[in-house]
Amino acid sequence: MENYGNWKTLSAASKSAYVTGLWDGYIAFFGKELLEKYSANCSDGRIKRVSDLVEMLDSLYKQEINRSFSPAILLREKGLQNLCRN
């Protein structure tokens, strides 16, 4: 999945499956480092379902500047930071 052009063609179910794979990959690759970095700031329950992450990506893609990013980069670089900032 390269950018918004690909993302906008997916159904809600396909977006959820894709984000689930991304999230699982981040946990497998970054593991404890990812959890430590975000757990303190994300412990208020803002991320409860995969659909929360899909909605966040859809929201970020509403901004033209984000449309060149892949969903993976957008989630990692902007999404988690937006959800988990102090």
Q: pLDDT tens digit string along 26-70?
A: 777 766 666 666 665 565 556 668 888 899 899 999 999 999 999
The pLDDT of residue 18: 92
The pLDDT of residue 50: 86
Query: Which is more confidently placed, 3 or 48?
Result: 3
The pLDDT of residue 16: 94
The pLDDT of residue 70: 92
Total structural domains within the chain? 1
Q: Domain residues for 78?
A: 4-84
The pLDDT of residue 86: 47
72 burial type by CB count under 10 A (0-12 exposed, 13-18 middle, 19+ buried): middle
